[in-house]
Amino acid sequence: MDNHILNECPIQPVVDILSGKWTSYILWEIYNKNNHYGSIKKQLPGISTRTLAVRLKFLENKGILSRTVFNTNPPTVTYDLTNKGLTLAPILKSMKTWSELYQ
Protein backbone atom coordinates (compact mmCIF):
# COMPACT_ATOMS: atom_id res chain seq x y z
CA MET A 1 0.00 0.00 0.00
CA ASP A 2 3.01 2.22 0.45
CA ASN A 3 4.51 3.56 -2.77
CA HIS A 4 8.14 4.34 -2.06
CA ILE A 5 8.70 5.89 -5.46
CA LEU A 6 6.21 8.65 -4.79
CA ASN A 7 7.65 9.91 -1.52
CA GLU A 8 7.91 13.38 -3.00
CA CYS A 9 4.22 13.58 -3.85
CA PRO A 10 2.64 15.91 -1.26
CA ILE A 11 -0.51 13.86 -0.81
CA GLN A 12 1.22 10.48 -0.50
CA PRO A 13 0.84 10.12 3.31
CA VAL A 14 -2.91 10.53 3.30
CA VAL A 15 -3.43 8.44 0.19
CA ASP A 16 -1.47 5.70 1.91
CA ILE A 17 -3.81 5.82 4.90
CA LEU A 18 -7.08 6.08 2.98
CA SER A 19 -6.31 3.40 0.42
CA GLY A 20 -8.19 0.16 0.75
CA LYS A 21 -11.75 -0.48 -0.28
CA TRP A 22 -13.21 0.01 3.20
CA THR A 23 -10.83 2.33 5.04
CA SER A 24 -12.64 5.60 4.44
CA TYR A 25 -15.98 4.04 5.32
CA ILE A 26 -14.59 2.69 8.60
CA LEU A 27 -13.18 6.10 9.49
CA TRP A 28 -16.46 7.72 8.59
CA GLU A 29 -18.35 5.45 10.98
CA ILE A 30 -15.93 6.06 13.82
CA TYR A 31 -15.92 9.78 13.14
CA ASN A 32 -19.69 9.58 13.60
CA LYS A 33 -19.37 7.93 17.00
CA ASN A 34 -20.20 4.49 15.73
CA ASN A 35 -17.17 2.97 17.34
CA HIS A 36 -17.85 -0.55 18.53
CA TYR A 37 -16.40 -3.33 16.44
CA GLY A 38 -19.83 -4.94 16.12
CA SER A 39 -21.75 -1.79 15.24
CA ILE A 40 -19.19 -0.74 12.63
CA LYS A 41 -19.59 -4.15 11.02
CA LYS A 42 -23.35 -3.78 11.12
CA GLN A 43 -23.22 -0.39 9.40
CA LEU A 44 -20.96 -1.70 6.64
CA PRO A 45 -22.86 -4.59 5.13
CA GLY A 46 -20.57 -6.68 2.97
CA ILE A 47 -17.37 -6.22 4.91
CA SER A 48 -15.84 -9.42 6.22
CA THR A 49 -14.66 -9.86 9.79
CA ARG A 50 -11.14 -10.35 8.55
CA THR A 51 -11.08 -7.20 6.45
CA LEU A 52 -12.54 -5.12 9.26
CA ALA A 53 -9.99 -6.48 11.71
CA VAL A 54 -7.10 -5.98 9.29
CA ARG A 55 -8.10 -2.41 8.47
CA LEU A 56 -8.68 -1.48 12.11
CA LYS A 57 -5.26 -2.81 13.05
CA PHE A 58 -3.70 -0.96 10.12
CA LEU A 59 -5.26 2.30 11.27
CA GLU A 60 -4.22 1.62 14.84
CA ASN A 61 -0.63 1.02 13.71
CA LYS A 62 -0.72 4.29 11.78
CA GLY A 63 -1.69 6.13 14.94
CA ILE A 64 -5.11 7.07 13.59
CA LEU A 65 -7.21 4.92 15.92
CA SER A 66 -6.98 3.85 19.53
CA ARG A 67 -8.39 0.56 20.75
CA THR A 68 -10.04 0.20 24.13
CA VAL A 69 -11.30 -3.00 25.75
CA PHE A 70 -14.14 -2.80 28.26
CA ASN A 71 -14.55 -5.48 30.91
CA THR A 72 -18.24 -5.87 30.27
CA ASN A 73 -20.05 -9.13 29.76
CA PRO A 74 -19.11 -10.07 27.19
CA PRO A 75 -16.06 -7.84 26.80
CA THR A 76 -16.53 -5.15 24.17
CA VAL A 77 -14.04 -3.10 22.19
CA THR A 78 -14.27 0.46 20.94
CA TYR A 79 -12.15 2.25 18.40
CA ASP A 80 -11.69 5.99 18.64
CA LEU A 81 -9.91 8.58 16.55
CA THR A 82 -6.66 9.63 18.19
CA ASN A 83 -5.66 13.29 18.16
CA LYS A 84 -3.87 12.52 14.92
CA GLY A 85 -6.93 10.72 13.60
CA LEU A 86 -9.17 13.64 14.47
CA THR A 87 -7.13 15.84 12.16
CA LEU A 88 -8.55 13.82 9.27
CA ALA A 89 -11.93 15.42 9.99
CA PRO A 90 -11.59 18.18 7.36
CA ILE A 91 -10.93 15.57 4.71
CA LEU A 92 -13.91 13.45 5.76
CA LYS A 93 -16.13 16.52 5.92
CA SER A 94 -15.09 17.73 2.47
CA MET A 95 -15.69 14.25 1.13
CA LYS A 96 -19.21 14.25 2.54
CA THR A 97 -19.96 17.72 1.21
CA TRP A 98 -18.78 16.78 -2.26
CA SER A 99 -20.72 13.53 -2.27
CA GLU A 100 -23.93 15.29 -1.29
CA LEU A 101 -23.60 17.85 -4.03
CA TYR A 102 -22.23 15.82 -6.92
CA GLN A 103 -23.36 12.26 -6.65
Partner DNA sequence: CTCATTGGTTTATTTTTGGAAAGTAAGTTT
Partner DNA sequence: AAACTTACTTTCCAAAAATAAACCAATGAG
**Interface residues toward DNA, by CB under 7 A:** 1, 19-23, 36-39, 46-51, 53-57, 67, 71, 73-78
26 touches which of a second copy, DNA, none (CB within 5 to 8 A by kind)? none
Q: Using CB distances below 5 to 8 A depending on partner kind, what does residue 67 bind out of a second copy, DNA, none?
A: DNA
The footprint of a second copy on residues 68-97 (CB under 8 A) is 84, 87-88, 90-92, 94-97
Residue 77 CA from chain centroid, whole number: 15
Beta strands in the chain (DSSP E): 65-70, 76-81
Q: Which helix (H) or strand (E) holds 52?
A: helix 49-61
